Chain A
């Protein structure tokens, strides 16, 4: 039996009462509920406050470069598809620096769960706008207030036909836990965009602000593979902000197309050096 203690208890470098704590708790609880042992789990991340998560979880971790949580996560999943691979990233990390990887990882559809700590700000570099910052948000860089259109991660993911798209909130840990569980259980790329208050730099989207707006969607409202409905829902943002699973599209994952994985993890395949002789015949 796996217990929450197995995932350890680490001192963090996060500000007290940051939204990151709720997300960390939900990830741990989801893994325990799914019965995953720490050695079966790999958490890959980029750089940012959120991306420090691998250090606060007692499991395998690859804490790479800013914006680059997805490529190593994909590589690792191909090398050993028996691992449960979670990519933990921030809104700047994933939608800014790593935007291209996001697009193409959705197209590739590896069986990876992406958890985006979406605090609508750059935390680690002390408060610049992120691709999801609201119009008007003033920072030391955006001195006249943000005027670039905020990106809508859910609409973007649905438009790309991402296999699983959900939104959680760091202030609703048990709801978030169940979303993460569903995302991990889903085969293919799952996006869980998590509204995460940054108590130090984001003075607009605070716990109070969110608590007044978020609501859990009734997930029986429409068929989850209805892309148009999902898209419509994803555009609801303002007085009311929906939480839950927006879109699910069961389709083959990247690994399904790789016949070589059928006989076991790639990294265990013995080299076929002797076959090189056959190839050399072709040059004679």
Chain B
């Protein structure tokens, strides 16, 4: 990593911070950099203090660090709060508009409003001026920003496009002629322009669902899960998907189960509070053995918690939610690639085992933008495990929806197929699906269902190791902590330490022997989780009897940074 720059845009909600941030991130990606961008925002439509942070590098990155090199301050609070984060950086601010309380030498005034009025006759163009100023400070070519502005304002017509370009160019030129010291950040555009994507975790989940042939999505909006619902809805016509906004989460999962029962590949999207309402229907999925994919994007609870922030606080809830015992599967992606492939895998597991499968994400992964290689849809298979009409025609006995088989998986036919009737029941039932409260039947049916969990346990992927296979220190993470933890491994290895990352994506069920083996050599094992109780560490102990030696926990609503983890490792004398 020879380039590692951090740009922070700070301001109030409604000031166009997100638009500016995304346009800058896209421009920098076009210039050939690897990007990681996160947003920190509050649950309000206007006001408050929000930030959009972009990290750029010439090597792949998957985490944010805590430095700031360039601060674009859209309000005075941004300077007051973040000036101390700069070591040797620049604050770009329109001092005509923003009250500047500091006399720091880093502050560089760009009269954005004045330029916008002069060049375009309207102050609304000052955001574009600011973008040009940032690109100018980085001494990059203007052409990529122009391209991005063209694409962003395509729908608004030529005139608007041109005005934005003119505004950006004026900001760029202003910096070039007025910034003392010329090119402060000499970042060269990357020579190899890889075809990288700039994508958020939520978009990648949506793409994965479309690649897996999702046919029906019913959901009720809840931050931070809504992005997946809107992404699928935006592409529903192209992919022949029906998306329905249900009246509540209860209806959403019940609808999904009805659609899935009748043969459609179906999913719902929600967050913790919404999932709380779905739990009864989760039990229904368990009892009726109806496949369902539940995308659950975590945010801090309890109750409404911190609606726009991050936490990995719902794992224990998801593991045991709903009445009674039945098999379920939990997958937790940590990168956009994993979001894409694991969502597709979730559908296949749901269909094969006829169980609910969770894709457990969180706000940090959902809303962050990552650069990554194109996904390969040809790697995705769509496995429905349904009885075909011809198989049914040659059947010898009456169809039994809940036939007891050696593996516990019953052959699945659909209502409407000729020659079969499909009966599903939330009560305990016999092989035909009829209510049956008989004790012997209960045991048989319960065993049949639970057998599937053991079968899945044997088939499920084991955690991946990042770094050396045998290391003295193993950092253990799941889901979205992948990026910061992988960077910690890189940093510590460069310092000559023996450390690796054991990254779990397949959270439940856990393959027992294979998981134990991962920890046989490490002397110190440190679980790093975004919650206050070490939920995954408990789960690991319970399922595999692996006891981790340390935990590093964060539960202030913010994601981990590599610096945070390294400081904690030092404090705990692990390193």
Residues of A within 8 A of B (CB): 13, 38-40, 42, 44, 47, 52, 54-55, 58-65, 68, 70-80, 82-83, 100-101, 103-104, 108, 258-260, 265-277, 279-280, 283-284
Contacts and interface: CB of A to CB of B under 8 A. Distances in A.
Contacts of B423: 54-55, 60-63
Given A39-B417, A65-B284, A82-B416, A75 B262 contact: yes
Contacts of B378: 273
A76 B284 CA distance: 15
The 7 lowest CB-CB distance pairs between A and B, nearest first, are A271-B213, A72-B258, A75-B258, A267-B263, A75-B259, A71-B254, A60-B415
A68 B281 contact: yes
Contacts of A42: 262, 415-416
Interface string B233-268: 001011111101011101110111111111111100
B422 A60 contact: yes
A276 B377 contact: yes
Contacts of A104: 246-247, 251
A103 B247 contact: yes
A13 B435 CA distance: 10
Given A76-B261, A260-B242, 20 more contacts: A58-B421, A59-B421, A60-B415, A60-B422, A60-B423, A62-B261, A62-B424, A63-B435, A65-B284, A68-B254, A70-B251, A78-B244, A80-B414, A83-B415, A100-B251, A260-B241, A266-B242, A280-B207, A280-B375, A283-B198
A203 to B, nearest CB: 28
Tell me if B's interface is mostly helix, strand, loop or mixed: mixed
A65 B259 contact: no
Interface string B352-395: 00000000000000000000001101101010000000000000
Nearest to B195: A284
Interface of B: 195-199, 203, 207, 210-213, 215-216, 218, 235, 237-242, 244, 246-248, 250-252, 254-266, 280-281, 284, 288, 374-375, 377-378, 380, 382, 414-427, 433-435
A24 to B, nearest CB: 15
A276 B375 contact: yes
A71 B419 CA distance: 26
Contact of B377 (A13, A59, A259, A273): A273
Nearest to B250: A68
A276 B210 contact: yes
18 contacts: A39-B421, A47-B426, A55-B435, A61-B421, A61-B422, A62-B288, A68-B281, A72-B257, A74-B255, A75-B259, A78-B255, A78-B264, A104-B246, A260-B241, A267-B263, A276-B210, A280-B374, A280-B375
A195 B281 CA distance: 30
A101 B212 contact: no
Contacts of A108: 244
B240 A76 contact: no
A82 B246 CA distance: 22
A52 B437 CA distance: 14
A279 B218 CA distance: 22
B414 A272 contact: no
A142 to B, nearest CB: 26
A273 B418 contact: no
A246 to B, nearest CB: 25
Contact of A272 (B196, B238, B259): B238
A38 B284 CA distance: 24
B216 A75 contact: yes
Contacts of B422: 60-61
B542 to A, nearest CB: 29
A65 B416 CA distance: 22
A112 to B, nearest CB: 11
B277 to A, nearest CB: 11
Contact of A284 (B197, B284, B418): B197
Given A39-B420, A63-B427, A76 B415 contact: yes
B300 to A, nearest CB: 28
B213 A73 contact: no
A79 B418 contact: no
Contacts of B215: 79, 266-267, 269
B196 A284 contact: yes
Contacts of B257: 64, 72, 75
B257 to A, nearest CB: 6
Contacts of B242: 78, 258, 260, 266
A268 B215 CA distance: 9
B264 A267 contact: yes
B258 A74 contact: yes
Contacts of B375: 276, 280
A267 B215 CA distance: 7
A97 B218 CA distance: 20
Contact of A83 (B203, B262, B435): B262
Given A44-B258, A55-B434, A74-B258, A279 B210 contact: yes
Contact of A101 (B247, B262, B280, B419): B247
B416 to A, nearest CB: 5
